[in-house]
Amino acid sequence: MALRSVTGSDAALTDGLASVPGLELSRYWQDGPAVLLFLRHFG
C-alpha cells in the first residue's frame, strides 16, 4: 500500500489533471504540495 515515486514523463500527468474541465485542480499546488485523495465514491 505504499506510494510509488513518479519520475520521467509520468510527472507531467498533472498537465492532464489540470486540464479536466470544471475541476481547476492546479490551484491546489500553486503554493505548496497537494495531496489528492481519489475516493471510490461519495458516501
Partner 1 sequence: MQSELDGFRQRGASVVAVGQGTAEEAAHYCEKAGAEFPCIGDAGREAYRVLSLKRGSWWTVMLRSMLTKPLESFAQIRNADLAASQLAASDVLQLGGVAIVRRGGALSFLHVAEAPDDIPSNASVFDALDRMCERA
Q: Which of residues 1-43 bind partner 1 (CB under 8 A)?
A: 1-6, 10-18, 20-23, 25-26, 28-43
14-29 b/e (C-beta count within 10 Å ≥ 16 → b): eeeeeeeeeeeeeeee
To partner 1, the closest distance from the beta carbon of 9 in angstroms equals 10
Give the list of residues 6+ apart from residue 34 with CB closer than 8 angstroms, or none: 25, 28
Q: How many residues bind partner 1 (CB under 8 A)?
A: 37
Q: Which residue ranges make up the site for partner 1 (CB under 8 A)?
A: 1-6, 10-18, 20-23, 25-26, 28-43
